Amino acid sequence: MAYQALSSIFQRYDSDLTPAEAHGIATAMLCVNRQCESANWFSEVFEDVHSVIEDDRSVLVDLFEQTRKLLDPDESVFEFDLFLPQDADLAQQAASLANWSKGFLWGIGYSRSKGDWQGETDGILRDMVEFTKLDIEVEDDDDEDEDAFIQIHEYLRAAVLIVRDELNQHSDSSH
């Protein structure tokens, strides 16, 4: 699924969100509740869900459902990744990572208003708040900036699984 194609969909409907931010929201909602319906996410991403044509809706729901599959704790292979532009320069990727983190935090807050985060989740969410403030004035040819981006990106991939496991463990034990 091409980032630019999704970006065009968001622009077509004058959404203030980027695909990265919308994916962060979807990821968080699914970390909190594996059975979350795509319609819940969709209504948070677009103000007027009825104006979105069926083809565009289908592409977006596909992103949501692929994210659900990649977050499935029963899958033996960890293929989940943040939905960021692949062909972008480092500054654009850093901005997208900051937007993804912003979306994830929003999605966590939307899905779960209680702030009693268990285990490592509290620290991870604090880190994500800092990632929303990333300095996107990076140099494409600066190896240190690129290495830092890669480290943050990999940290977030792993952090999503920790949050998912901790939130689901907590919700499973409260039933």
Instruction: Please spell the DSSP secondary structure of 54-70, one letter per residue.
Output: HHHHHHHHHHHHHHHHH
CB 12 within 8 A of CB 56: yes
Instruction: Give which of 6, 28, 18 is closest to 117, Cα–Cα.
Output: 28
CB 121 within 8 A of CB 171: no
- Measured in residues, the chain has a length of 175
Cα distances from 4 to residues 7, 98, 111, 173, in angstroms, run 5, 18, 28, 41
Please give the pLDDT value at position 144: 85
| Global pTM exceeds 0.95 | no
Please give the pLDDT value at position 174: 43
Please give the pLDDT value at position 115: 62
Structure tokens at 42: 């969709």
Distance CA 18, CA 9 (A): 10
Q: Each residue's pLDDT tens digit in the chain (175 positions)? A: 689 999 999 999 988 999 999 999 999 999 999 899 999 999 889 888 788 999 999 999 999 999 999 998 887 677 899 999 988 888 899 999 999 999 999 998 876 656 667 788 888 998 999 889 876 676 666 788 889 889 999 999 999 999 999 887 655 444 3
Please give the pLDDT value at position 39: 92
We find that the CATH architecture of domain 3-173 is Up-down Bundle (1.20)
Please give the pLDDT value at position 69: 93
